[in-house]
Structure 1
């Protein structure tokens, strides 16, 4: 086998230092475009590929960033709260045992478990890692799966995390070992960096729209407030109602979680007795999209009888019937910002934890009673 080219070979071929070669791959913004192209051309000619392991031995860094999600669906399966995707939903006609393992069972799955919001933030994180020449490791698990996040943390220089309902202590533990950015968690004590959005402001604007534009005064909240961002959204709705001189509820109307054995039980009961509120502000788009389907199955017209709003701004909301009125988070920007914070933390060890709250935008469509834009 021919000798594998090294960074020294590339440096000699390009007529630059080994530090310049390293910067050309790891921190391209620090190298002039013409010099970087010379280095890359030499690397291509030599079939040189940088080694993350070698870099780690040299400076204790891997050159990779990580993205970890505490998956609510996995937690529900772990506790018996949802049907595992692998559970047999019925016969597959014309498929043998090996083919069944690869059969498309999407129709039998609960779309509420698909991490639509996570996917869009992840895309921004991926794009920014690619722009900066950073490798990316992605993992997911439950709050009780300590080994999963520890394994990812041991392989990367910095980590971004989508928290779960019981993950705060584990995330704090990891943050003592390397820079960590948490999405959708309130800023507090400790070493965590935070990227979040104006949750309360978003639902406050939605609620004001329902009251002032549509004249609706009977408004309730749907979704379990176990996640901090959901709780903030409930607070925003209540704040708007109080400011507009209307009674604010003490608790959410229907505490359905994204993964629930008996979703929207309260809504079903109220629909059966004809006592549904005139508008339902949902904790997320995934709640809202599923709720619209449930209401349709109960013979309730949206928005004719009940207006429904969401929060997140996922693409599925544009395609639903009716299209979903929602609050759009800048999800790609959140992912890119997390990479920025991690890179800054690596460059300035010991810097104070950062808290970044991004603005949101109300998007009005037909589910609240407005004509589609």
Structure 2
């Protein structure tokens, strides 16, 4: 068997030091592009692959960041779609819904890990059956990023005693963990104020699952704007998991039968807003002619929908990048206090509220 090439062979062929070779594969942003290209070309020519275990032993680190995410189908329906089914087939769900919120945040985490020379390991709670399994995954990374409601707080706090943990999309709190979120309350307040002041609407119902920190803050923003205008707060019941489309149809049918259809639905997510727009269209109710519908997230689906969805756009990719950056900075230089960051949101005024398309 031929001798495996080493870091010394790559350094000699590229005409650089072994430290430069190491930096090329662990912290590429610190190496000049021309030098990095020379090292990578030498590695390709020799068939060299850097050893993750060796790098870890040398630095006392794994060079990897973990992300606990969740699968959309497993979380919402427990059914994996048929990959061969055509678009529009109910088994394939709604193709407008991709990429979803967590897909874009995860992309941001991936981009920052790549930029900083870290490997990203993605796990989900469905594949872990016990705290020991979770701890085993956490033990293979230098830091851990988690989406809301993926792991219990008590487990995250125990993990954080060994490696830094950052929560993604959890509103700023004092739970002792690092966190990055967006201005959920301010965004929904601004959107509700737009419906009131620009369109003169007075009967606006909030749609969204309470019990989730980010949705609670959005509800607070809606409530603040309604109370400031002297208007009554109204909510719509939350759909059971995996039943949003059917629940929206039943809810719309019930409102029409009872004569209680509001002037607007302020939905806590774009996914909810699109489901209700479909249900209203199926019932022959015009959006925005008879009712305004708004969302929150800023998914591509809302932009391509007709009418285009008025929403609050989160900087989803930047949220993921910021979370990964916090982790990597903490790995390099741990701080005594948790790092908490809140990113701004942007009101996207489109057609579904009654405004003209730009």
TM over 0.5: yes
Gaps of 5+ in 2: none
Q: 1:280 aligns with which of 265, 281, 287?
A: 265
1:22 and 1:164, CA in 2 relative to 1: closer, same or farther beyond 3 A? same
Answer with 256-265 or 229-238: which moved more: 256-265
Deviation at 1:174, TM superposition (A): 2.9
Residue 117 in 1 paired to residue 140 in 2?
A: no
Residue 161 in 1 paired to residue 146 in 2?
A: yes
Deviation at 1:38, TM superposition (A): 4.1
What is the SS of the residue equivalent to 1:181? strand
- Does the 8 Å contact 1:184/1:229 carry over to 2? yes
Deviation at 1:72, TM superposition (A): 6.2
Q: 2:183 aligns with which of 198, 212, 219?
A: 198
1:208 and 1:189, CA in 2 relative to 1: closer, same or farther beyond 3 A? closer
Q: 2:84 aligns with which of 103, 106, 109?
A: 103
What is the SS of the residue equivalent to 2:347? strand
Q: 2:157 aligns with which of 172, 175, 190?
A: 172
- Runs of 4+ displaced beyond 6 Å: 112-115
Q: Which residue is 2:63 aligned to? A: 63
Distance 2:304 2:130 in 1: 38
Q: 1:295 aligns with which of 262, 267, 280?
A: 280
Deviation at 1:113, TM superposition (A): 8.2
What is the SS of the residue equivalent to 1:68? strand
Residue 217 in 1 paired to residue 198 in 2?
A: no
Deviations 1:14-41 (A, max 9, x none): 4444333212221123334454444334
- Does the 8 Å contact 2:69/2:150 carry over to 1? no
Residue 85 in 1 paired to residue 70 in 2?
A: no
Answer with 214-223 or 118-127: which moved more: 118-127
What is the SS of the residue equivalent to 1:263? helix
Distance 1:340 1:303 in 2: 41
Distance 1:15 1:31 in 2: 14
State how 1:247-262 maps to structure 2 within 5 Å. 247-249=232-234, 252-256=235-239, 259-260=242-243
What is the SS of the residue equivalent to 2:10? helix
TM-score by length of 1: 0.85
Q: Which residue is 1:98 aligned to? A: none
What is the SS of the residue equivalent to 1:303? coil
Q: Which residue is 1:93 aligned to? A: none
Alignment RMSD: 2.6
Gaps of 5+ in 1: 77-81, 87-100
Deviation at 1:290, TM superposition (A): 0.7
- Does the 8 Å contact 1:292/1:302 carry over to 2? yes
What is the SS of the residue equivalent to 1:308? strand
TM-score by length of 2: 0.88
State how 1:328-347 maps to structure 2 within 5 Å. 328-347=313-332
Q: How many residues align?
A: 352
Q: Which residue is 2:112 aligned to? A: 128
What is the SS of the residue equivalent to 1:50? coil
- Does the 8 Å contact 1:220/1:277 carry over to 2? yes
Distance 1:142 1:295 in 2: 34
Deviation at 1:167, TM superposition (A): 3.5
Q: Which residue is 2:301 aligned to? A: 316
Deviation at 1:151, TM superposition (A): 4.4
What is the SS of the residue equivalent to 2:145? strand
- Does the 8 Å contact 1:258/1:286 carry over to 2? no
